[in-house]
Every structure is written in C-alpha cells, then in structure tokens.
Amino acid sequence: MKIWRLFPWLWIVGLFLLVACNPAGEEAKETDLTRSVKHAMGTTDVVDHPKRVVVLDNGALDNLLALKVKPIGAATVFEKAPFFSYLKDQPKGIKSIGTIDQPNLEAIASLKPDLILGTKEAHVGIYDQLSEIAPTVFTKDYGIDWKENFRLHAKAVNKEKEADTQLDEFEKRAAQLKKELKEKPEKTEISLLRPRTDHIRIYLRQSFSGKFVEDLGFSRPKPQQKDEFELQATEENMEILDGDVILWFTRDQDNLLEEKMMKSPLWKDLKAVKQDRVHHVSDETWLSGMGIQAANAMLDDLFTVFEEK
C-alpha cells in the first residue's frame, strides 16, 4: 500500500482524537472569556459572567441584588450585624466576610470568588491583596456618585442593559415626583439630620443623601450649602438645622439626645417644626444604602413627604 493513500485516514483519525481530547469544545472557551473593566484603580480583566462575587460595601450589595446577581459573601457595617432590613430576604444565605472597614481576607479567600467589588475610599490599602485572591474592581467612593457606581457594578457582572433599564425607571419616577410638587423643588430647602451621642449631624453636598436631594433639584438651607460631608450642631447653634423640610434619620433604637433636643425651646422654634414638616426616615437607606434600591426607597419617602394633605 502506498503511504499517500493513508493521508485521508490519518487526517480523520487526528481530528477525532482532537475532539475527544476537548469534548467541551466551545463551552470550555466560553468559561474562559473575559472583559476589561476600567475602574478607580485602573483596568481589570473579569470573567464574562461572574458566579462567585464578594462585595465589600453596602452599595455593591444593594446593586448586585437589584441586578439579580447574588453575592456569595458581603461585608456589614458592624461586626456580626445583620444585613439591612430594607433588602428584606434578598441577602439570605450570603456569608459575612467581616466589616466594611475591616474585611476578613481569609474569609474572602475561603469563598474562592471570581470577582471582588469594593471602593477605593475604604479599601485602597488592601487592593493588592484582594487582587491576588480574585479580579478586583473598585468604585471611587461609597455612594456619592451612586448612579455611576451602579453602572460600574453592572458592567463588572455583565448586566449593563438591566442597569440602564432600572436607571431609566428611576428617572421617570423622579420626574413624576417633581410634577406632583406644589412648587418647583429648588424653592424647597431640605435639611438632612441624624442624632449622634453629643451632637446633631447635618449631611451636606459630599454625602450620599446630600447629593441625592440636590440632584433632584431641591435646595439646602444657606448654612448647609457647603461642599463638605457633614456639619455638626448642638443646642448652641440649633438654628443651622432649620429648613422648609427636615428629614430626620432614625434607627430602631432609643436616642436620648433626640429626646432632649426635641424638648428644647430652640428646637420648637424652628420653622419646619412649627409647620409640622419634620419627617422621620430610615438611616439604612438615607445614610448607608448607597444603591439603586435605597435610592428608590428614598424616592418613596419623598413622595410621602410631599403628598397632598
């Protein structure tokens, strides 16, 4: 038999062996697909559809759950604290990996994540260590620019279309709120307050809630028109608390300072107090939520605050 007559058969056998050695074919290649994501620390290649995501801040948890991507691990505000109640049962089954300020690297590594989401503001010091565990994507801050953070989180998990749809819906609801107001939002000054142990904290433009209300077009009282995170008030300068509307951030716990302040003649003399325009809202959403679900809950609050009486 001549050698050349064997070539077609040798080719067929070789092809068979190639397929047999790689039965997954294109499926195997799909699992290796990656995308480049630009973020606060540079550019990172992430898998096309992450399945084991760990999140290190509230905004990332809120946003991923909104996108129907359930993280395998998440940080909490305090050690052994539950996840925020406004998320209801969405975080059920998610493992705690320490606090936002001090994530537990060993706990994160043990989960074998394929993506880690955090924030440069809080986690820049451990970025390199996190990147050794899994591809890591950071937002610039916690949630001042919460819409941009939502878009980045969505890009990291390949859910950009879903994020655009949710943001469009948010903008429609925001437009409806403005339409229902008796007067233009810029004519209403909103004061954002939270009681602490020895003072009242006022949230300004460089806070999540401060930027939120100003993005909607509302004004701030003159003493609060500052490009800073917060301002502190006590009984001695209580006048800086005033506004047309006061939103008072509360938790499900007693606050002795709140009781003391509200008994003060100076508090009772504030315009918003006299006009019964002090509204209690959850600090889970207004202070710490920083995601699309928190933002929608805050819109719900504003619809209630400004509804016709």
- Rounded to whole angstroms, the Cα distance separating 140 from 123 reads 10
First to last CA, the chain: 100
Confidence check: pLDDT of 11 > 90 = no
User: Both 228 and 134 in a single domain?
Assistant: no
Indicate if 219 and 283 belong to the same structural domain.
Answer: yes
C-alpha 113/C-alpha 115 separation (Å) is: 5
Strand 245-250 with 230-233, pairing:
unpaired
For 77, half-sphere exposure in the C-beta direction (CA atoms, 13 angstrom radius) is: 14
Alpha helices in the chain (DSSP H): 7-21, 26-31, 58-66, 105-110, 120-123, 127-133, 146-156, 160-180, 208-215, 256-263, 265-268, 271-274, 283, 292-305
**23 falls within a domain:** no
47 - beta bridge partners?
34
Average confidence (pLDDT) over 177-203: 93
Domain membership of residue 226 as a residue range? 181-307
- Distance separating alpha carbons of residues 243 and 220, to the nearest angstrom: 7
CATH number of the CATH domain containing 48: 3.40.50.1980
Residue 303: inside a domain: yes
Q: What is the pLDDT of residue 139?
A: 98
pLDDT tens figures, 104-150: 999 999 999 999 999 999 999 999 999 999 999 999 998 899 999 99
pLDDT: is 197 or 108 the higher one? 108
Cβ neighbour number for residue 37 with a 10 Å cutoff: 18
104 with 190, same domain: the answer is no
Residues 154 and 185 reside in one and the same domain: no
pTM: 0.88
On whether both 210 and 140 belong to a single domain, the answer is no
Q: What is the pLDDT of residues 15-44, one digit of tens each?
A: 344 444 444 434 434 456 999 999 999 999
Question: Is residue 16, in this structure, part of any structural domain at all?
Answer: no
Q: Residue 95 CB: number of other CB atoms within 10 A?
A: 13
Is residue 1 situated within a structural domain?
no
